[in-house]
A and B are shown apart, each in its own frame.
Chain A
Amino acid sequence: MTDTTHNTHSDVLAGSGLTLAKALPWLIASAFLLVMPFVFTSNSAITIMNQMAITIIFALSYNMLLGQGGMLSFGHAVYMGVGGFLCVHIMNWDQFFGTLPLPVLPIFGGLFGMGLALIVGSFSTRRAGTVFAMISLGVGELIAACSVIIVVFFGGEEGISGDRTYGLPFFGIEFLQQIEVYYLTAFWLVLSALGMFLFSRTPVGRMANAVRDNPERAEFLGYSARWVRFYSFVASGFFAGIAGGLFAINYEILTEENLNLATSGSILLVTFLGGVGFFFGPVIGAIVFTLLQTVLSLQTELWALYVGALFVATVMFFPGGLAGVLMMHTPPLVLGKLHLLVKPYIKTLLPAAICILATAGFIEILFHARHAAIGDDQMTLFWMTFSHANPVPWIAFGAVALGGFWLARRNAPELVETWHEANTDTGARP
């Protein structure tokens, strides 16, 4: 115990400069971003990765409010949306856009998002909690409604579109290819994530956590809880606007859908799924969600049902999100007991996974039986083709689901026991 305290102590004193240990995650992430297009070369994969990068920035900016500042917003899509709309307008403004290199464009989205956050934040950040949530919902609805009223800016129901390639060529790159857009997006992803991370390490970023935990105590330390929230809110609006600018570059079209409540709700879902308690939580959430949204939606019409179930399960059983689940393993890792968990994990989680897949299979057959066109009884599931009128697949999937459930149930106590053991310091450390 004593030597661990000692280590962390010297860490902090040495930590006043930039150390390799601190820069390492960022270097690895950047290298990863550079290499990804060589691993997944297809255009559709690159589109998915672009979508992911944009969602990551958006979710991180959302977590500046929810995770860092304790503000539950139901209207965050607005800031991303208006940033995106402005960027499309700039794309359509030929004289100006012709002199502007495309990579600079997201800045304008950011500033516009920040401007709106400045106005809304001036009255919405007075209180956190329900009052803040309700104001964010109201403002979100208001601006979404404006999209069909202020047609000149929002373009009405069909939205507005532009062409990114009219910008000033950037070192000869005209951003005709998806891959060029990918690197532009990746660049902004690293820059924005770093910006948001560093913000959380500044005095006002630290106080955002303090205000989240206990606004009254923060006031008795000399900080106005309201102004601390306001600064976080404005910064969050800026990064959401950046995400909007990147969205504009990627899709070259923005519609009402980009700022409506459904989008605001889904970013809450993404952030919570990833985990609000850790800076990198929303990154995981955005990656998993985008994968589910794009890959799973190609496989099944019911993807939203599964995502919903995953979200409910996360809220109920893992309020720390996926990042929380990962970080739960830090104590066993520190104690050098992580290996103890491998076997019980396989024995419990594998049957559980099989149970979930079989249940999903059962639901798919049911869905097909109820909703397929008359006469179309053939369906393909897990590389097997069969008729939904045949009782065998029903029985098989049902039996596998029950069997998996029974096995997982039977082995769960062992997992719990091992978990406790792996988290107990027996002092027998090398």
Chain B
Amino acid sequence: MTAALEITNLRKSFGQTEIIRGVDLQIMPGERHAVIGPNGAGKSTLFNLITGRFPQTAGVVALHGHDLKGKAPYEINRMGLSRSFQITNIFPKMTVFENVRCSLLWSMGYRYSFWNMVARSRALNEGAEAILEQINLQRRRDIPAGMLSYAEQRALEIGITIAGGADVIMLDEPTAGMSHSETDYIMDLIRDVTEGKTLVMVEHDMGVVFGLADRISVLVYGEIIATGTPTDVRANPRVQEAYLGAALEAEH
């Protein structure tokens, strides 16, 4: 079986500084994988390299066995990879419903059509309604997305990310800045909407990480120091030394 996402010796330098220093990672289809690590370890950079936001300095990122080198974000998205952002990244002036509907357009084959009316496509509108129901925002469907509460915007962000039907979903700190109850809600939501899909997430909240992930990678100073099941990672002495012990203590 080909890995959903396979990263080989990935490197990224900004000027003299090497941020990602040779990352190898294999994520199988259907796996829920979390990347954890201290601040500044390069987690978001790793995400940006995978999704084509920045070009890599060296190494290979392959999605279902296809090299992603030199591909623009929209091309990578069309190949079945979708991502959310650490800082909420929605269409603030458009309604919640429009946000979701726009994220369905490409995957439903509309491309750059200027001869179809979006309001006339039943599949499109029902699809958007279904996503809204999944992220529990039907009641807010007609207000501009910029006016949603923070947690709602995060939920919408996840909705937009999964709407296109991509089979590899990457979430960058989906619960950042949330209260406990909001975190629980988002965690359930993520579990629901990524059913049967490959999930890669960066997360700081250890509760979310250990509750959701099948496997965990620990990134420290641009290198993965351990990959394995939550139990293995928790028990790994290097991880404890470098990061997890401190993080777990901070949790309590």
Contact = CB atoms under 8 A, between A and B. Distances in A.
A204 B164 contact: no
A214 B112 contact: no
A205 B85 CA distance: 25
Contact of B112 (A15, A203, A212): A203
A343 interface: no
Contacts of A198: 117
Contact of A12 (B110, B113, B125): B125
Given A15-B119, A210-B102, A204 B91 contact: no
Contact of A207 (B51, B73, B93, B102): B102
Contact of A217 (B90, B97, B122, B141): B90
B115 interface: yes
A227 interface: yes
B7 interface: no
B159 to A, nearest CB: 12
Contact of B120 (A16, A221, A224): A16
Contacts of A217: 85, 89-91, 160
B111 interface: yes
Interface string B115-129: 111111110010001
A8 B142 contact: yes
Given A201-B117, A235-B114, A220 B92 contact: no
Interface string B167-186: 00000000000000000000
Contacts of A223: 74, 105-106, 112
A124 interface: no
Contact of A209 (B53, B93, B116, B122): B93
Contact of B119 (A16, A207, A213, A231): A16
A202 interface: yes
Given A5-B138, A220-B77, A206 B117 contact: no
A209 B99 CA distance: 10
B101 interface: yes
A1 interface: yes
A13 interface: yes
Contacts of A391: none
A9 interface: yes
A121 to B, nearest CB: 13
Given A206-B101, A213-B94, A219 B73 contact: yes
A228 interface: yes
A218 B110 CA distance: 14
Contacts of B139: 1-2, 5
Nearest to B106: A222
A371 B114 CA distance: 56
Interface footprint category on B: 35 or more
B92 A5 contact: no
A204 B112 contact: yes
A210 B102 CA distance: 7
Nearest to A11: B142
Nearest to A201: B117
A239 B75 CA distance: 31
Nearest to A8: B142
Interface centre among A12, A201, A213, by most B CB within 10 Å? A213
A13 B125 contact: yes
Given A13-B125, A221-B160, A224-B74, A231 B138 contact: no
B147 interface: no
Contacts of B206: none
A202 to B, nearest CB: 5
Interface string A1-34: 1100100110011011100000000000000000
Given A9-B138, A209-B93, A213-B94, A220 B73 contact: yes
A408 B129 CA distance: 48
B56 interface: no
B118 A201 contact: yes
A8 B140 CA distance: 11
B78 interface: yes
A209 B142 CA distance: 16
B194 interface: no
B103 interface: yes
Contacts of A8: 141-142
B107 interface: yes
A183 interface: no
A317 B122 CA distance: 41
A300 B129 CA distance: 56
A40 B184 CA distance: 66
A158 interface: no
A207 B113 CA distance: 10
A204 B102 CA distance: 10
A199 interface: yes
A216 interface: yes
Contacts of B122: 16
B98 interface: yes
Interface in A245-294: 277
A219 B74 contact: yes
Contact of B111 (A16, A203, A206, A219): A203
A222 B51 CA distance: 12
Given A203-B113, A204-B114, A213-B93, A222 B164 contact: yes
Interface of A: 1-2, 5, 8-9, 12-13, 15-17, 198-199, 201-207, 209-210, 212-214, 216-224, 227-228, 231, 235, 277
11 contacts: A5-B138, A202-B113, A204-B112, A205-B114, A206-B105, A207-B105, A210-B91, A213-B93, A220-B51, A220-B83, A222-B78
Given A210-B94, A219-B77, 7 more contacts: A5-B139, A16-B119, A206-B118, A214-B91, A222-B77, A222-B107, A223-B74
10 closest Cβ contacts across the A-B interface?
Answer: A222-B106, A203-B110, A213-B91, A219-B73, A222-B77, A202-B114, A210-B102, A219-B74, A203-B113, A204-B112
